[in-house]
Amino acid sequence: MRAEPRYEPTLGTWDGLARFKPQGMTLFATGLSGFLLILVGLPVAMVILMSFRTGFPGEGVPFTLENFAEVYLTPRTYEVLLNTLFFAVGSVAVTLLIAVPLVWILMRTDIPLKKTIYVLLTIGILIPVFLRTIAWILLLSPRIGLINKWLQESLALSNPPFNLYSLTGMALIQGVSFVPGAFFMLAAAYRSMDPSLEEAAYTSGVGKLKTFLKINIPITLPAIAAVMVYLFMTAIAVFEVPAIIGLPSRILVLSSLIYTSTTPSTGLPEYGMAGAYGAIMLAFGLALAFLYVRLVKQGKKYTVITGKGYRPREIALGRWKWAALAFVFLYLAIELFIPFAVLLWASLLPYLQLPSAEALSSLTLKHYIEIPAHVGARPFINTIILMLAVPTLTMILSVLVSWVVIRSQVSFRGFLDTLAFIPHAVPGILMAVGLAYLGLAYRDYFPLYGTIFIIVIAHTVNWIAYGTRTTNSVMIQVHRELEEAGRVSGATAPRILGKIVLPLIAAGVLNSWIWIGMLSYREITMSLTLMTRSNVVVSTVVWQFWGSGWVPQVSALGVMLIMFATVVVAAVRLALSRVGEIGSAS
C-alpha cells in the first residue's frame, strides 16, 4: 500500500501540494531583516559616526575624540545630566501619582460616565503636548500669565506668585501629559485582577483606601515598574516641554542640548557635539529598553486571574463616588478643559488679556480667517502626506515582521522582532539628527534632505516598534489551522497572508493605522529637527508662530488642531466601538 505524503505545517514554498519547505520564508525573512537593519541601523550609525567628527557633514574630516573630550570634561555636561534626571524622575512621579488612582477608579469601581472619560483620555493622548504647554504658559508665566495677573490685581501683589519656568514646572506639565498613556498601559493589569483578593480584605473590615495601598498596588507592582521604566525612558528623550519652558529660562536637558547643537541661533551646526551628547542618551535608552523588556517578561509570573469561576466585579464606591468623580474631572480639567479654554480665549482676542467687559467687546474670528494667508497650503499638504504615508508604510512593515515572527519557524525570528523593537530605545531626536547628518553628508546618495519624505522615513522608523507590538498581539490570536487549510488547498504563502490572515486582523491593523497617523499629526521633535522651508508641517508652523510671539495665531491654530483630533477620536470611536475597547464601560 502506497504511503501518503506527510504534511508538515511550516511556512515556506510549496513542492507540489504535499510538502511545504521553509526555504522561501527564510529567504524572505533574511531580506526583511536586512532592510530593517539598514532602515533602523543607518540613522543610529550616523549618530555614532558624527560623534567622531568635527565640522560640517560631508567635509571629510578625519576621526577624532575631540567631541567626547569637550563634552565629558566640561562640568556643564553633568549639570545638564542632573537636570535631565531630575526632570525625568519628577515627570514619572507626577504621572504615577495621578495615573495609578485613576486606573483603579476606572477599572475596578462603579464610577459613572466611563465611556465619556475613556474618550477624553484618548483625546488627551492625541493633543500635541506643546499646545498644552503653551496654554499653561499663558496662565502661569510670570510676565503674561493670566492667573498671575489676576492674583496680582486682586491681592495687590508686587511679584507674580507662580513661575512655570523651572525644572519643577517642566516636570509637572510633562508628568500630566504622560497620564493618558500610563493609564492605558496599566488598564489591563487592573482590569484582570481577581476580585476575590479585594473582597477578602473588605470581609475582614479593611477600608477601600487601605485595600488599594496594601493589595492593589503590590499585586500590580511589576506592571507599575514596567510603566515607570517606559516613562523614564521617554522623559529622558522628550523635547517639547524642555524646549518651550526650559530654553527661554536657560534650563537645559539632554534633548534641548542636542537640538541647540544642530540648530544654533548663530553659527554653524555642531553635529559632532550633538553626536557626543547623543551617545549618553543612546546608552540610557538601550539600557532602559533592556530593563523594560525584562520587567515585562518577569511580570508574567505575577498572575492574579484564578481561572475557574473568575468574573471581574466592580467595587461599589458608595458615598465616595462623587469624590472619585471630582478627582477624575480635576485631572481632565488640568489636562484638557483648561488648556483648551485658554487657547480658545486667546485666539478670539487681538492680544492676551484678562476676561472683562472690554475684552468681551473685542472678541473676533479674525485670527481664524487669516490662518490660510499666514500658513499657506504647503504645511497642510505635507501634514496630510505624513498622516497617510507614515501609517501605511509602518503597518506594511509591521504586518510582514509579525507574520515572520508569529507565524513562521525561521530560526532568527527573535532577532527580527528585537530589531523592530530597537527604535523604541532610540530617542526620536537622535533618529532625526542621524537622518539629517546622513542627508547632508551623503546627499549625492541620499537625496532626501529638505523633503517631506525624510520626515516620513523618520516617523516610520520611530513607530515601527509600536506597529509590530500591536500586530503581534492581534496576529497571535489567529489560529494556525486556518492557514493550514489554505496550504492544503494549494495556496501560496503570500496568498495565505493576503486572503486569510489580513482579513482576520484587518480591524486591529486599521486601528493601529489611524493611531500612527494621528501620532504623526501631533509629532514635532523630529519634524522640527529635519525642518527646511520646503517640508514644513502644521506642528512646526505652531512652533514658528510661538517663537515669533504670535500668541493669538498660535492659539487659533491650536484650537483647530485640538478640534481635528477630537473629530478623529469621535469617528474612530463610532467606527471601531467594538474593537480594542478597554473594559466594559457602563
> DSSP states of 529-543 as a string?
HT--TTS--HHHHHH
Q: State which fold the 65-305 domain adopts.
A: MetI-like fold (1.10.3720)
DSSP class of residue 62? P
Q: Which three cell numbers stand for residue 535?
A: 517640508
* Confidence at 344, pLDDT banded by 50, 70, 90: very high
The residue with greater pLDDT, 586 or 38, is 38
Domain ranges across the chain: 29-58+367-548, 65-305
Q: Are strands 13-15 and 19-21 parallel, antiparallel or unpaired?
A: antiparallel
Query: Mean pLDDT across the stretch 352-374?
Result: 90
Query: Mean pLDDT across the stretch 477-499?
Result: 64
1, pLDDT greater than 60: no
- Residue 247 sits at φ, ψ, to 5 deg, of -60, -45
* Confidence at 480, pLDDT banded by 50, 70, 90: low
> DSSP states of 97-141 as a string?
HHHHHHHHHHHHB--S-HHHHHHHHHHHHHS-HHHHHHHHHHHH-
The three-class DSSP label of residue 15 is: strand
* 29-58+367-548 and 65-305 share one fold: yes
Which residues touch 559 (CB under 8 Å, ≥6 apart)? 340, 343, 344, 347
**To which residue does cell 462623587 refer?**
322
478, pLDDT greater than 90: no
525, pLDDT greater than 70: yes
Give the HSE-up count for residue 393: Cα atoms under 13 Å, Cβ half-sphere.
19
- Predicted TM-score (pTM) of the model is 0.82
As a whole number, the mean pLDDT across the chain is: 81
pLDDT digits (tens, 9 = 90+) for 296-316: 666 554 444 444 444 556 777
- Give CA–CA dist 468/472, Å, rounded: 6
The residue with greater pLDDT, 253 or 509, is 253
Q: Which of 260-264, 335-339, 474-478 has the lowest mean pLDDT?
A: 474-478
Report pLDDT for 17.
34
Query: Mean pLDDT across the stretch 209-219?
Result: 67
Nearest-5° Cα angle at 77, 73 to 81 = 135
The three-class DSSP label of residue 426 is: coil
Which long-range contacts link 292-300 to residues 24+ away (Cβ below 8 Å)? 292/226, 292/229, 292/230, 292/233, 293/421, 295/222, 295/225, 295/226, 295/229, 296/226, 298/222, 299/222, 299/223, 299/225, 299/226
Report pLDDT for 468.
85
Nearest in space to 173 (alpha carbons), one of 140, 126, 145: 140
Which whole-number Å values give the CA distances from 369 to 344, 373, 521, 538, 558, in the listed order?
14, 8, 22, 16, 14
> In the CATH hierarchy, which top-level class contains the domain 29-58+367-548?
mainly alpha
- Give CA–CA dist 384/263, Å, rounded: 26
Range picked from 189-203, 371-385, 472-486, 494-508 for highest mean pLDDT: 371-385
* Confidence at 90, pLDDT banded by 50, 70, 90: very high
* Confidence at 567, pLDDT banded by 50, 70, 90: confident
- The 10 Å Cβ neighbour count of residue 384 is 14
Instruction: Report the amino acid identity of residue 339.
Output: P
Report pLDDT for 19.
37
List the alpha helices (DSSP H) in 408-451: 413-421, 428-441
Contact 40, 422 (CB under 8 A): yes
DSSP class of residue 245? I
Nearest in space to 449 (alpha carbons), one of 547, 524, 530, 352: 530
Share of the chain above pLDDT 70, in %: 80
Report pLDDT for 21.
46
Report pLDDT for 196.
62
Q: Which of 146-160, 279-293, 427-441, 542-556 has the lowest mean pLDDT?
A: 279-293
Contact 529, 47 (CB under 8 A): no
pLDDT digits (tens, 9 = 90+) for 427-459: 888 888 889 888 888 888 888 888 999 999 999
pLDDT digits (tens, 9 = 90+) for 106-156: 888 888 888 888 888 888 888 888 999 999 999 999 888 899 999 988 888
Q: Which residues of 352-372 are buried (b: 16+ CB within 10 A; e: fewer)?
A: beeeeeebeeeeeeebbeebe
Report pLDDT for 245.
93
Report pLDDT for 84.
93
